[in-house]
Structure 1
Amino acid sequence: METFERARLDAYFTRIAAQFAPAEPSTSFLITHLLAERPAFVRAVAAMTRLAAVLPKPKSIHPAARHEVEQTLPVDTLSRDLFKEPDTALNYFESRAAGEPVCLLDVGGYFAPTIAEVHSRFTGRLAGIVEDTQNGHRRYQDLDKLPCPVVSVARSPLKDPEDYLVGQSVVFSTEAVMRGRGDILHGRPALVIGFGKLGSSIARLLHAKGVQVTVFDVDPVRRTQALSQGFTPTLRLPLRLSHHGGHWRPPDRGGVRCRLAQGRRDRRPTASGAHRGGAGLNVPFSPAALAARQGRPRLCLTCDTSATSSRSTATCP
Protein backbone atom coordinates (compact mmCIF):
# COMPACT_ATOMS: atom_id res chain seq x y z
CA MET A 1 0.00 0.00 0.00
CA GLU A 2 1.05 3.57 -0.64
CA THR A 3 2.07 5.68 2.35
CA PHE A 4 -0.87 8.08 1.95
CA GLU A 5 -3.31 5.14 1.87
CA ARG A 6 -1.92 3.80 5.13
CA ALA A 7 -2.22 7.25 6.66
CA ARG A 8 -5.88 7.52 5.63
CA LEU A 9 -6.70 4.12 7.11
CA ASP A 10 -4.90 4.90 10.36
CA ALA A 11 -6.72 8.24 10.67
CA TYR A 12 -10.10 6.60 10.00
CA PHE A 13 -9.67 3.82 12.55
CA THR A 14 -8.26 6.24 15.10
CA ARG A 15 -11.48 8.29 14.86
CA ILE A 16 -13.62 5.14 15.14
CA ALA A 17 -11.70 3.88 18.19
CA ALA A 18 -12.08 7.25 19.90
CA GLN A 19 -15.78 7.60 19.07
CA PHE A 20 -16.78 4.11 20.21
CA ALA A 21 -14.46 3.63 23.15
CA PRO A 22 -15.98 0.97 25.47
CA ALA A 23 -17.22 2.00 28.90
CA GLU A 24 -15.56 -0.99 30.56
CA PRO A 25 -12.19 -2.61 29.75
CA SER A 26 -12.26 -6.02 28.12
CA THR A 27 -10.01 -8.54 26.41
CA SER A 28 -10.47 -9.66 22.82
CA PHE A 29 -9.39 -12.43 20.48
CA LEU A 30 -9.34 -11.41 16.82
CA ILE A 31 -9.72 -13.78 13.87
CA THR A 32 -9.06 -11.86 10.67
CA HIS A 33 -7.76 -11.90 7.12
CA LEU A 34 -4.30 -10.49 7.78
CA LEU A 35 -3.89 -8.73 4.45
CA ALA A 36 -1.81 -5.71 3.53
CA GLU A 37 -4.28 -3.08 4.80
CA ARG A 38 -5.29 -4.96 7.97
CA PRO A 39 -2.69 -3.72 10.52
CA ALA A 40 -4.60 -0.41 10.83
CA PHE A 41 -7.74 -2.30 11.83
CA VAL A 42 -5.79 -4.51 14.24
CA ARG A 43 -4.32 -1.43 15.91
CA ALA A 44 -7.81 0.02 16.33
CA VAL A 45 -9.03 -3.17 18.03
CA ALA A 46 -5.98 -3.09 20.27
CA ALA A 47 -6.75 0.53 21.19
CA MET A 48 -10.31 -0.36 22.27
CA THR A 49 -9.57 -3.64 24.07
CA ARG A 50 -6.67 -5.63 25.42
CA LEU A 51 -6.01 -7.70 22.33
CA ALA A 52 -4.91 -11.06 23.72
CA ALA A 53 -4.14 -12.64 20.36
CA VAL A 54 -4.51 -12.14 16.63
CA LEU A 55 -5.40 -15.35 14.79
CA PRO A 56 -4.98 -14.82 11.03
CA LYS A 57 -6.93 -17.07 8.69
CA PRO A 58 -4.39 -19.53 7.26
CA LYS A 59 -4.87 -18.73 3.57
CA SER A 60 -5.15 -14.96 4.05
CA ILE A 61 -1.82 -13.92 5.49
CA HIS A 62 0.31 -11.17 3.96
CA PRO A 63 3.88 -11.75 5.24
CA ALA A 64 4.67 -8.06 5.67
CA ALA A 65 1.39 -7.45 7.49
CA ARG A 66 2.02 -10.36 9.83
CA HIS A 67 5.53 -9.14 10.57
CA GLU A 68 4.19 -5.65 11.35
CA VAL A 69 1.51 -6.95 13.73
CA GLU A 70 3.93 -9.35 15.45
CA GLN A 71 6.08 -6.43 16.54
CA THR A 72 3.50 -5.36 19.12
CA LEU A 73 0.92 -8.14 19.50
CA PRO A 74 0.87 -11.93 19.91
CA VAL A 75 -0.02 -13.72 16.68
CA ASP A 76 -1.16 -17.34 17.06
CA THR A 77 -1.69 -20.07 14.49
CA LEU A 78 -5.36 -20.59 13.64
CA SER A 79 -6.98 -23.91 12.74
CA ARG A 80 -10.39 -25.50 13.15
CA ASP A 81 -8.81 -28.07 15.45
CA LEU A 82 -7.87 -25.37 17.97
CA PHE A 83 -11.53 -24.88 18.89
CA LYS A 84 -12.88 -28.31 17.97
CA GLU A 85 -12.47 -29.95 21.39
CA PRO A 86 -13.65 -28.21 24.58
CA ASP A 87 -10.51 -28.93 26.61
CA THR A 88 -8.19 -27.64 23.89
CA ALA A 89 -10.23 -24.48 23.39
CA LEU A 90 -10.54 -23.86 27.13
CA ASN A 91 -6.82 -24.32 27.72
CA TYR A 92 -6.08 -21.81 24.98
CA PHE A 93 -8.38 -19.13 26.41
CA GLU A 94 -7.11 -19.72 29.95
CA SER A 95 -3.51 -19.35 28.79
CA ARG A 96 -4.23 -15.97 27.23
CA ALA A 97 -7.01 -14.39 29.30
CA ALA A 98 -7.73 -16.29 32.52
CA GLY A 99 -10.25 -14.54 34.74
CA GLU A 100 -10.87 -11.68 32.29
CA PRO A 101 -14.01 -10.50 30.44
CA VAL A 102 -13.57 -11.62 26.84
CA CYS A 103 -15.07 -10.65 23.49
CA LEU A 104 -14.46 -12.91 20.49
CA LEU A 105 -14.21 -11.39 17.02
CA ASP A 106 -14.88 -14.21 14.56
CA VAL A 107 -14.70 -14.68 10.80
CA GLY A 108 -16.12 -18.06 9.84
CA GLY A 109 -17.61 -19.53 13.03
CA TYR A 110 -14.34 -20.89 14.39
CA PHE A 111 -15.44 -20.56 18.03
CA ALA A 112 -18.88 -22.13 17.50
CA PRO A 113 -18.18 -25.88 18.08
CA THR A 114 -17.14 -25.52 21.73
CA ILE A 115 -18.52 -22.16 22.74
CA ALA A 116 -21.21 -23.56 25.08
CA GLU A 117 -18.74 -25.54 27.19
CA VAL A 118 -16.11 -22.81 27.14
CA HIS A 119 -18.75 -20.36 28.37
CA SER A 120 -19.66 -22.61 31.32
CA ARG A 121 -16.08 -23.52 32.35
CA PHE A 122 -14.01 -20.43 31.56
CA THR A 123 -12.67 -18.69 34.68
CA GLY A 124 -13.34 -15.32 33.12
CA ARG A 125 -16.54 -14.06 31.53
CA LEU A 126 -17.42 -14.55 27.90
CA ALA A 127 -19.14 -11.26 27.10
CA GLY A 128 -20.09 -12.05 23.51
CA ILE A 129 -19.11 -12.80 19.93
CA VAL A 130 -19.10 -10.73 16.76
CA GLU A 131 -19.39 -12.79 13.56
CA ASP A 132 -18.59 -11.27 10.20
CA THR A 133 -19.54 -13.89 7.61
CA GLN A 134 -22.52 -15.81 6.31
CA ASN A 135 -20.59 -19.04 6.80
CA GLY A 136 -20.04 -18.26 10.48
CA HIS A 137 -23.60 -16.98 10.88
CA ARG A 138 -24.88 -20.44 9.93
CA ARG A 139 -22.52 -22.19 12.32
CA TYR A 140 -23.83 -20.19 15.27
CA GLN A 141 -27.40 -20.48 14.02
CA ASP A 142 -27.06 -24.28 14.04
CA LEU A 143 -26.36 -24.32 17.80
CA ASP A 144 -29.28 -25.45 19.95
CA LYS A 145 -28.86 -22.47 22.25
CA LEU A 146 -26.50 -19.49 22.27
CA PRO A 147 -24.71 -19.25 25.65
CA CYS A 148 -23.85 -15.59 25.12
CA PRO A 149 -24.83 -12.75 22.77
CA VAL A 150 -23.75 -13.26 19.16
CA VAL A 151 -23.82 -10.16 16.99
CA SER A 152 -23.86 -11.16 13.33
CA VAL A 153 -23.10 -8.50 10.74
CA ALA A 154 -23.20 -11.05 7.91
CA ARG A 155 -26.67 -9.94 6.80
CA SER A 156 -26.30 -6.28 7.59
CA PRO A 157 -26.90 -3.76 4.76
CA LEU A 158 -23.35 -2.61 5.46
CA LYS A 159 -22.18 -5.90 3.91
CA ASP A 160 -23.87 -5.19 0.56
CA PRO A 161 -20.96 -3.12 -0.84
CA GLU A 162 -18.57 -5.87 0.21
CA ASP A 163 -20.69 -8.52 -1.55
CA TYR A 164 -20.58 -6.48 -4.75
CA LEU A 165 -16.82 -6.02 -4.53
CA VAL A 166 -16.24 -9.71 -3.77
CA GLY A 167 -18.36 -10.62 -6.80
CA GLN A 168 -16.32 -8.20 -8.89
CA SER A 169 -13.11 -9.80 -7.63
CA VAL A 170 -14.38 -13.31 -8.48
CA VAL A 171 -15.28 -12.31 -12.03
CA PHE A 172 -11.98 -10.47 -12.47
CA SER A 173 -9.97 -13.47 -11.25
CA THR A 174 -12.01 -15.88 -13.37
CA GLU A 175 -11.41 -13.78 -16.45
CA ALA A 176 -7.68 -13.68 -15.66
CA VAL A 177 -7.60 -17.50 -15.45
CA MET A 178 -9.42 -17.81 -18.77
CA ARG A 179 -7.13 -15.32 -20.50
CA GLY A 180 -4.20 -17.35 -19.23
CA ARG A 181 -5.74 -20.30 -21.09
CA GLY A 182 -6.04 -18.20 -24.24
CA ASP A 183 -9.80 -17.74 -23.86
CA ILE A 184 -12.24 -14.94 -23.08
CA LEU A 185 -15.49 -14.62 -21.11
CA HIS A 186 -17.55 -12.76 -23.69
CA GLY A 187 -20.23 -14.91 -25.29
CA ARG A 188 -19.57 -17.96 -23.14
CA PRO A 189 -22.25 -19.86 -21.19
CA ALA A 190 -21.85 -19.70 -17.41
CA LEU A 191 -23.57 -21.53 -14.58
CA VAL A 192 -23.80 -19.68 -11.25
CA ILE A 193 -24.63 -22.10 -8.43
CA GLY A 194 -26.45 -20.20 -5.70
CA PHE A 195 -28.28 -16.92 -6.18
CA GLY A 196 -27.64 -15.37 -2.78
CA LYS A 197 -25.85 -12.11 -2.16
CA LEU A 198 -22.60 -13.14 -3.86
CA GLY A 199 -24.21 -15.27 -6.55
CA SER A 200 -26.55 -12.50 -7.68
CA SER A 201 -23.66 -10.03 -7.77
CA ILE A 202 -21.54 -12.42 -9.84
CA ALA A 203 -24.43 -13.14 -12.22
CA ARG A 204 -25.01 -9.44 -12.90
CA LEU A 205 -21.31 -8.78 -13.46
CA LEU A 206 -20.99 -11.73 -15.84
CA HIS A 207 -24.06 -10.55 -17.74
CA ALA A 208 -22.47 -7.13 -18.12
CA LYS A 209 -19.52 -8.83 -19.81
CA GLY A 210 -21.73 -10.51 -22.40
CA VAL A 211 -21.85 -13.91 -20.69
CA GLN A 212 -24.92 -16.17 -21.06
CA VAL A 213 -25.80 -16.77 -17.40
CA THR A 214 -27.79 -19.73 -16.06
CA VAL A 215 -28.58 -19.82 -12.34
CA PHE A 216 -29.03 -22.95 -10.21
CA ASP A 217 -30.78 -22.70 -6.85
CA VAL A 218 -33.21 -25.09 -5.14
CA ASP A 219 -34.98 -22.13 -3.52
CA PRO A 220 -37.95 -21.27 -5.78
CA VAL A 221 -37.94 -17.66 -4.55
CA ARG A 222 -34.34 -17.20 -5.62
CA ARG A 223 -35.05 -18.83 -8.97
CA THR A 224 -37.91 -16.39 -9.44
CA GLN A 225 -35.61 -13.51 -8.57
CA ALA A 226 -33.06 -14.75 -11.10
CA LEU A 227 -35.75 -15.04 -13.77
CA SER A 228 -37.06 -11.54 -13.06
CA GLN A 229 -33.54 -10.15 -13.51
CA GLY A 230 -33.16 -11.73 -16.93
CA PHE A 231 -31.24 -14.91 -16.07
CA THR A 232 -32.17 -18.47 -16.94
CA PRO A 233 -33.03 -20.48 -13.79
CA THR A 234 -32.45 -24.23 -13.74
CA LEU A 235 -32.68 -27.27 -11.48
CA ARG A 236 -30.25 -29.27 -13.61
CA LEU A 237 -26.50 -29.35 -13.06
CA PRO A 238 -23.83 -30.49 -15.55
CA LEU A 239 -21.45 -31.59 -12.78
CA ARG A 240 -21.36 -34.16 -10.04
CA LEU A 241 -21.24 -32.20 -6.79
CA SER A 242 -20.61 -34.29 -3.71
CA HIS A 243 -19.24 -33.88 -0.20
CA HIS A 244 -18.09 -37.52 -0.21
CA GLY A 245 -16.47 -38.05 -3.56
CA GLY A 246 -16.55 -37.06 -7.20
CA HIS A 247 -14.09 -35.09 -9.25
CA TRP A 248 -14.96 -31.70 -7.73
CA ARG A 249 -15.92 -30.76 -4.21
CA PRO A 250 -17.50 -27.40 -3.37
CA PRO A 251 -16.71 -25.52 -0.14
CA ASP A 252 -18.22 -27.23 2.93
CA ARG A 253 -20.33 -24.23 4.00
CA GLY A 254 -20.47 -21.23 1.74
CA GLY A 255 -17.51 -19.54 0.14
CA VAL A 256 -16.64 -19.19 -3.53
CA ARG A 257 -14.85 -21.66 -5.75
CA CYS A 258 -14.40 -21.51 -9.49
CA ARG A 259 -13.67 -24.27 -11.94
CA LEU A 260 -13.71 -24.74 -15.69
CA ALA A 261 -15.26 -28.17 -16.18
CA GLN A 262 -15.71 -30.25 -19.31
CA GLY A 263 -18.59 -32.72 -18.98
CA ARG A 264 -18.05 -36.32 -20.02
CA ARG A 265 -19.87 -37.47 -23.12
CA ASP A 266 -19.91 -41.19 -22.37
CA ARG A 267 -22.38 -41.09 -19.48
CA ARG A 268 -25.04 -38.98 -17.83
CA PRO A 269 -23.53 -37.50 -14.66
CA THR A 270 -25.73 -36.45 -11.76
CA ALA A 271 -25.59 -33.58 -9.35
CA SER A 272 -25.40 -34.60 -5.73
CA GLY A 273 -25.48 -31.78 -3.19
CA ALA A 274 -25.22 -33.23 0.31
CA HIS A 275 -27.06 -31.48 3.10
CA ARG A 276 -27.90 -32.15 6.72
CA GLY A 277 -29.22 -35.60 7.39
CA GLY A 278 -27.08 -37.21 4.70
CA ALA A 279 -29.70 -36.91 1.99
CA GLY A 280 -28.70 -35.73 -1.45
CA LEU A 281 -30.18 -33.90 -4.37
CA ASN A 282 -29.79 -36.07 -7.47
CA VAL A 283 -30.70 -34.37 -10.71
CA PRO A 284 -30.03 -35.90 -14.16
CA PHE A 285 -27.87 -33.92 -16.52
CA SER A 286 -29.71 -32.12 -19.29
CA PRO A 287 -28.65 -33.39 -22.74
CA ALA A 288 -29.90 -30.11 -24.21
CA ALA A 289 -27.52 -28.18 -21.99
CA LEU A 290 -24.65 -30.43 -23.06
CA ALA A 291 -25.47 -29.95 -26.72
CA ALA A 292 -25.65 -26.19 -26.24
CA ARG A 293 -22.07 -26.17 -25.02
CA GLN A 294 -20.82 -27.39 -28.41
CA GLY A 295 -17.76 -28.99 -26.89
CA ARG A 296 -16.71 -25.87 -25.02
CA PRO A 297 -16.07 -25.82 -21.26
CA ARG A 298 -18.82 -24.30 -19.18
CA LEU A 299 -17.81 -21.76 -16.59
CA CYS A 300 -19.15 -22.88 -13.20
CA LEU A 301 -19.14 -20.58 -10.18
CA THR A 302 -20.30 -21.97 -6.85
CA CYS A 303 -21.32 -19.06 -4.67
CA ASP A 304 -23.43 -20.65 -1.93
CA THR A 305 -23.61 -24.35 -1.11
CA SER A 306 -26.97 -23.79 0.54
CA ALA A 307 -28.22 -23.55 -3.03
CA THR A 308 -27.97 -27.34 -3.17
CA SER A 309 -29.81 -27.85 0.10
CA SER A 310 -33.54 -27.94 0.53
CA ARG A 311 -33.21 -26.50 4.07
CA SER A 312 -33.90 -22.79 4.28
CA THR A 313 -32.18 -20.50 6.79
CA ALA A 314 -33.41 -17.59 8.87
CA THR A 315 -31.71 -14.67 10.51
CA CYS A 316 -30.80 -15.13 14.17
CA PRO A 317 -32.84 -12.93 16.50
Structure 2
Amino acid sequence: MSAVVIVVHGGICVEEIPDVFEPLYRACILGMETLQSQEAVDAVEEAVKVLEDDPRLNAGTGAFPNLLGEVEMSASIMKDDLSCGGVAAIKNVRHPISVARAVMERTRHVLLVGEGANLFARLLGFEEYNPVAELTIRTLEKSIAKASQEKDSIYHYYLKRAREKLRRLHLGTVGAVALDCSGRIAAGTSTGGVEMQLPGRVGDSPIIGCGTFAWEWGGVSMTGEGEGIMKLGLARKIAEWMEEMSAQEAVNRGMELARRFGVVCGAIAVRKTGEIGFGECGGRLTFGYFREEMKEPHVFPSKS
Protein backbone atom coordinates (compact mmCIF):
# COMPACT_ATOMS: atom_id res chain seq x y z
CA MET A 1 0.00 0.00 0.00
CA SER A 2 1.47 3.33 -1.09
CA ALA A 3 1.62 6.61 0.77
CA VAL A 4 -1.32 8.88 0.06
CA VAL A 5 -0.52 12.54 -0.54
CA ILE A 6 -1.73 15.58 -2.46
CA VAL A 7 0.14 18.80 -3.19
CA VAL A 8 -1.50 21.91 -4.66
CA HIS A 9 -0.31 25.35 -5.74
CA GLY A 10 -1.93 28.71 -6.37
CA GLY A 11 0.78 30.22 -8.54
CA ILE A 12 4.00 32.14 -8.00
CA CYS A 13 3.98 35.77 -6.88
CA VAL A 14 6.65 38.35 -7.68
CA GLU A 15 4.89 41.31 -6.08
CA GLU A 16 2.17 41.31 -3.41
CA ILE A 17 1.22 37.83 -2.17
CA PRO A 18 -2.58 37.38 -2.24
CA ASP A 19 -4.45 35.83 0.66
CA VAL A 20 -5.08 32.40 -0.83
CA PHE A 21 -4.67 30.27 2.29
CA GLU A 22 -8.32 29.28 2.38
CA PRO A 23 -8.72 27.93 -1.20
CA LEU A 24 -5.41 26.03 -0.97
CA TYR A 25 -6.52 24.54 2.36
CA ARG A 26 -9.89 23.50 0.95
CA ALA A 27 -8.26 22.03 -2.16
CA CYS A 28 -6.02 19.87 0.03
CA ILE A 29 -8.97 18.73 2.15
CA LEU A 30 -11.15 17.79 -0.82
CA GLY A 31 -8.21 16.16 -2.57
CA MET A 32 -7.47 13.96 0.42
CA GLU A 33 -11.15 13.07 0.88
CA THR A 34 -11.26 12.03 -2.77
CA LEU A 35 -8.12 9.91 -2.38
CA GLN A 36 -9.82 7.84 0.32
CA SER A 37 -12.10 6.17 -2.22
CA GLN A 38 -10.99 7.23 -5.70
CA GLU A 39 -7.87 7.48 -7.85
CA ALA A 40 -5.16 10.12 -7.99
CA VAL A 41 -6.59 11.63 -11.19
CA ASP A 42 -9.94 12.20 -9.47
CA ALA A 43 -8.24 13.95 -6.55
CA VAL A 44 -6.24 16.18 -8.89
CA GLU A 45 -9.36 17.21 -10.81
CA GLU A 46 -11.38 17.95 -7.66
CA ALA A 47 -8.56 19.94 -6.05
CA VAL A 48 -7.97 22.02 -9.17
CA LYS A 49 -11.71 22.70 -9.50
CA VAL A 50 -11.67 24.23 -5.99
CA LEU A 51 -8.86 26.54 -7.09
CA GLU A 52 -10.54 27.38 -10.41
CA ASP A 53 -13.64 28.47 -8.48
CA ASP A 54 -11.79 30.97 -6.29
CA PRO A 55 -11.88 34.50 -7.82
CA ARG A 56 -8.55 35.42 -6.19
CA LEU A 57 -6.63 32.96 -8.36
CA ASN A 58 -5.72 33.17 -12.05
CA ALA A 59 -7.66 30.12 -13.26
CA GLY A 60 -11.34 29.60 -14.00
CA THR A 61 -13.32 32.34 -12.24
CA GLY A 62 -11.09 35.42 -12.07
CA ALA A 63 -8.78 34.30 -14.88
CA PHE A 64 -6.66 36.96 -16.56
CA PRO A 65 -8.07 38.56 -19.75
CA ASN A 66 -6.30 39.01 -23.07
CA LEU A 67 -5.85 42.46 -24.63
CA LEU A 68 -9.33 42.28 -26.13
CA GLY A 69 -10.77 41.86 -22.65
CA GLU A 70 -11.69 38.23 -23.34
CA VAL A 71 -10.88 35.37 -20.99
CA GLU A 72 -9.07 32.50 -22.72
CA MET A 73 -8.20 29.68 -20.33
CA SER A 74 -5.95 26.64 -20.55
CA ALA A 75 -5.53 23.41 -18.59
CA SER A 76 -4.02 19.95 -18.77
CA ILE A 77 -4.15 16.71 -16.80
CA MET A 78 -2.00 13.58 -16.95
CA LYS A 79 -1.77 10.11 -15.39
CA ASP A 80 1.30 7.99 -14.80
CA ASP A 81 0.34 5.64 -17.66
CA LEU A 82 0.94 8.64 -19.99
CA SER A 83 -2.79 9.20 -20.59
CA CYS A 84 -3.21 12.96 -20.91
CA GLY A 85 -5.41 15.74 -22.23
CA GLY A 86 -5.44 19.50 -22.49
CA VAL A 87 -7.38 22.53 -23.68
CA ALA A 88 -6.01 25.93 -24.69
CA ALA A 89 -7.68 29.30 -25.32
CA ILE A 90 -11.03 27.88 -24.22
CA LYS A 91 -13.76 30.37 -23.30
CA ASN A 92 -16.86 30.47 -21.13
CA VAL A 93 -16.46 27.27 -19.14
CA ARG A 94 -16.31 27.00 -15.38
CA HIS A 95 -13.76 24.19 -15.05
CA PRO A 96 -11.17 23.93 -17.84
CA ILE A 97 -9.49 21.06 -15.95
CA SER A 98 -12.62 18.93 -16.39
CA VAL A 99 -12.74 19.62 -20.11
CA ALA A 100 -9.05 18.67 -20.31
CA ARG A 101 -9.86 15.37 -18.61
CA ALA A 102 -12.65 14.78 -21.11
CA VAL A 103 -10.15 15.28 -23.94
CA MET A 104 -8.00 12.60 -22.29
CA GLU A 105 -10.85 10.13 -21.80
CA ARG A 106 -13.23 10.83 -24.69
CA THR A 107 -10.94 11.53 -27.66
CA ARG A 108 -7.85 10.20 -29.42
CA HIS A 109 -6.19 13.59 -29.06
CA VAL A 110 -4.02 15.30 -26.46
CA LEU A 111 -4.85 18.98 -27.00
CA LEU A 112 -7.88 20.92 -28.29
CA VAL A 113 -7.72 24.69 -28.76
CA GLY A 114 -9.95 27.71 -29.29
CA GLU A 115 -13.30 27.21 -30.98
CA GLY A 116 -12.67 23.47 -31.29
CA ALA A 117 -12.26 23.21 -27.53
CA ASN A 118 -15.37 25.35 -27.00
CA LEU A 119 -17.47 23.16 -29.31
CA PHE A 120 -16.19 19.98 -27.66
CA ALA A 121 -17.17 21.31 -24.23
CA ARG A 122 -20.69 22.21 -25.40
CA LEU A 123 -21.19 18.81 -27.07
CA LEU A 124 -20.36 17.12 -23.76
CA GLY A 125 -22.80 19.31 -21.85
CA PHE A 126 -20.42 21.71 -20.10
CA GLU A 127 -22.60 24.73 -19.40
CA GLU A 128 -21.90 28.27 -20.61
CA TYR A 129 -20.19 30.17 -17.81
CA ASN A 130 -18.82 33.71 -17.44
CA PRO A 131 -15.45 33.55 -15.60
CA VAL A 132 -15.06 37.33 -15.24
CA ALA A 133 -14.39 38.48 -11.66
CA GLU A 134 -12.71 41.39 -9.90
CA LEU A 135 -9.22 39.99 -10.61
CA THR A 136 -10.06 39.86 -14.33
CA ILE A 137 -11.05 43.52 -14.35
CA ARG A 138 -8.04 44.70 -12.34
CA THR A 139 -5.70 42.80 -14.63
CA LEU A 140 -7.31 44.28 -17.75
CA GLU A 141 -6.91 47.78 -16.34
CA LYS A 142 -3.20 47.14 -15.71
CA SER A 143 -2.75 45.59 -19.15
CA ILE A 144 -4.35 48.58 -20.89
CA ALA A 145 -2.06 50.96 -19.00
CA LYS A 146 1.05 48.96 -19.93
CA ALA A 147 0.03 48.44 -23.56
CA SER A 148 -0.57 52.17 -24.05
CA GLN A 149 3.10 52.78 -23.17
CA GLU A 150 4.47 50.17 -25.58
CA LYS A 151 6.45 51.50 -28.55
CA ASP A 152 5.39 48.58 -30.74
CA SER A 153 2.16 49.65 -32.47
CA ILE A 154 0.83 46.09 -32.51
CA TYR A 155 -0.22 46.57 -28.88
CA HIS A 156 -2.00 49.81 -29.70
CA TYR A 157 -4.28 47.94 -32.10
CA TYR A 158 -5.96 46.20 -29.19
CA LEU A 159 -6.36 49.19 -26.87
CA LYS A 160 -9.63 50.66 -28.17
CA ARG A 161 -11.44 47.33 -28.04
CA ALA A 162 -9.94 46.54 -24.66
CA ARG A 163 -11.13 49.85 -23.22
CA GLU A 164 -14.60 49.26 -24.64
CA LYS A 165 -14.64 45.79 -23.09
CA LEU A 166 -13.55 47.21 -19.75
CA ARG A 167 -16.39 49.72 -19.79
CA ARG A 168 -18.85 46.90 -20.42
CA LEU A 169 -17.46 44.71 -17.68
CA HIS A 170 -17.67 47.41 -14.94
CA LEU A 171 -9.42 40.30 -9.68
CA GLY A 172 -1.83 32.80 -10.96
CA THR A 173 -1.93 29.56 -12.38
CA VAL A 174 -3.10 26.67 -10.18
CA GLY A 175 -2.25 22.98 -10.07
CA ALA A 176 -2.22 19.72 -8.14
CA VAL A 177 -0.26 16.47 -7.97
CA ALA A 178 -1.52 13.37 -6.15
CA LEU A 179 -0.44 9.84 -5.23
CA ASP A 180 -3.15 7.33 -4.30
CA CYS A 181 -3.11 4.16 -2.22
CA SER A 182 -2.58 2.02 -5.32
CA GLY A 183 0.58 3.92 -6.19
CA ARG A 184 -1.00 5.79 -9.11
CA ILE A 185 0.19 9.34 -9.77
CA ALA A 186 -1.59 12.19 -11.54
CA ALA A 187 -0.91 15.88 -12.14
CA GLY A 188 -2.97 18.79 -13.43
CA THR A 189 -2.54 22.51 -14.13
CA SER A 190 -5.01 25.30 -14.99
CA THR A 191 -4.52 28.97 -15.85
CA GLY A 192 -6.03 32.14 -17.23
CA GLY A 193 -2.74 33.21 -18.77
CA VAL A 194 -0.67 36.36 -18.20
CA GLU A 195 -1.04 40.12 -18.21
CA MET A 196 -0.96 41.79 -21.66
CA GLN A 197 -1.76 38.46 -23.28
CA LEU A 198 -2.40 38.69 -27.01
CA PRO A 199 -5.52 36.84 -28.21
CA GLY A 200 -4.65 33.25 -29.02
CA ARG A 201 -1.54 33.14 -26.84
CA VAL A 202 -0.88 29.73 -25.27
CA GLY A 203 1.54 29.20 -22.41
CA ASP A 204 2.96 26.12 -20.71
CA SER A 205 -0.07 25.04 -18.67
CA PRO A 206 -1.90 22.97 -21.34
CA ILE A 207 1.32 21.61 -22.87
CA ILE A 208 2.25 18.13 -21.69
CA GLY A 209 5.88 18.05 -20.58
CA CYS A 210 6.00 21.81 -20.03
CA GLY A 211 3.36 22.77 -17.45
CA THR A 212 2.23 19.26 -16.49
CA PHE A 213 3.81 15.82 -16.53
CA ALA A 214 3.27 12.48 -14.81
CA TRP A 215 4.85 9.08 -15.32
CA GLU A 216 5.82 6.03 -13.27
CA TRP A 217 8.37 7.89 -11.13
CA GLY A 218 6.44 11.04 -10.28
CA GLY A 219 4.23 13.96 -11.23
CA VAL A 220 4.83 17.71 -11.60
CA SER A 221 2.77 20.89 -11.98
CA MET A 222 4.45 24.17 -12.94
CA THR A 223 3.62 27.86 -12.60
CA GLY A 224 5.34 31.02 -13.78
CA GLU A 225 6.56 32.47 -17.07
CA GLY A 226 5.00 30.10 -19.56
CA GLU A 227 7.24 30.93 -22.50
CA GLY A 228 10.39 30.20 -20.50
CA ILE A 229 8.95 27.03 -18.99
CA MET A 230 8.05 25.78 -22.48
CA LYS A 231 11.52 26.46 -23.84
CA LEU A 232 13.07 24.38 -21.05
CA GLY A 233 10.40 21.64 -20.93
CA LEU A 234 10.63 21.86 -17.15
CA ALA A 235 7.78 19.62 -15.98
CA ARG A 236 9.07 16.62 -17.91
CA LYS A 237 12.68 17.21 -16.87
CA ILE A 238 11.80 17.40 -13.17
CA ALA A 239 9.59 14.31 -13.41
CA GLU A 240 12.27 12.30 -15.21
CA TRP A 241 14.95 13.33 -12.72
CA MET A 242 12.87 11.72 -9.95
CA GLU A 243 13.94 8.31 -11.27
CA GLU A 244 17.40 9.03 -9.87
CA MET A 245 16.80 11.48 -7.03
CA SER A 246 14.24 12.68 -4.49
CA ALA A 247 11.36 14.93 -5.45
CA GLN A 248 12.93 17.88 -3.65
CA GLU A 249 16.29 17.35 -5.33
CA ALA A 250 14.59 17.17 -8.73
CA VAL A 251 12.68 20.41 -8.12
CA ASN A 252 15.86 22.11 -6.87
CA ARG A 253 17.64 21.04 -10.04
CA GLY A 254 14.77 22.42 -12.12
CA MET A 255 14.90 25.75 -10.32
CA GLU A 256 18.67 25.92 -10.86
CA LEU A 257 18.08 25.45 -14.59
CA ALA A 258 15.37 28.13 -14.57
CA ARG A 259 17.67 30.52 -12.72
CA ARG A 260 20.41 29.95 -15.29
CA PHE A 261 18.09 31.14 -18.06
CA GLY A 262 16.32 33.84 -16.04
CA VAL A 263 12.93 32.11 -15.98
CA VAL A 264 10.59 33.06 -13.10
CA CYS A 265 8.71 29.92 -12.12
CA GLY A 266 7.69 27.50 -9.40
CA ALA A 267 6.97 23.78 -9.20
CA ILE A 268 5.32 21.14 -7.04
CA ALA A 269 6.17 17.45 -7.35
CA VAL A 270 5.31 14.06 -5.87
CA ARG A 271 7.57 11.01 -6.26
CA LYS A 272 6.17 7.48 -6.41
CA THR A 273 7.62 6.84 -2.93
CA GLY A 274 5.39 9.57 -1.47
CA GLU A 275 8.08 12.24 -1.13
CA ILE A 276 7.07 15.76 -2.13
CA GLY A 277 9.09 18.60 -3.60
CA PHE A 278 8.43 22.28 -4.10
CA GLY A 279 10.40 25.35 -5.05
CA GLU A 280 10.51 28.67 -6.82
CA CYS A 281 12.83 30.86 -8.84
CA GLY A 282 12.39 34.62 -8.87
CA GLY A 283 9.20 34.79 -6.80
CA ARG A 284 7.31 33.15 -3.96
CA LEU A 285 5.26 30.02 -4.49
CA THR A 286 1.85 29.68 -2.82
CA PHE A 287 1.18 26.00 -2.13
CA GLY A 288 -0.08 23.40 0.30
CA TYR A 289 0.18 19.67 0.92
CA PHE A 290 -1.67 17.01 2.86
CA ARG A 291 -0.49 13.53 3.80
CA GLU A 292 -2.84 10.85 5.03
CA GLU A 293 -1.12 10.69 8.43
CA MET A 294 -1.41 14.46 8.99
CA LYS A 295 -4.25 16.00 11.00
CA GLU A 296 -4.64 18.93 8.60
CA PRO A 297 -2.97 20.40 5.52
CA HIS A 298 0.13 22.57 5.66
CA VAL A 299 -0.31 25.70 3.54
CA PHE A 300 2.29 28.34 2.64
CA PRO A 301 2.17 31.23 3.22
CA SER A 302 0.45 30.21 6.46
CA LYS A 303 -2.69 31.90 7.72
CA SER A 304 -1.83 35.17 9.44
TM-score past 0.5 threshold: no
- Alignment TM class, shorter chain as reference: under 0.3
Q: TM-score, normalised by structure 2?
A: 0.24
Q: TM-score, normalised by structure 1?
A: 0.23
Greater relative CO, 1 or 2 (CA 8 Å, sep 6+): 2
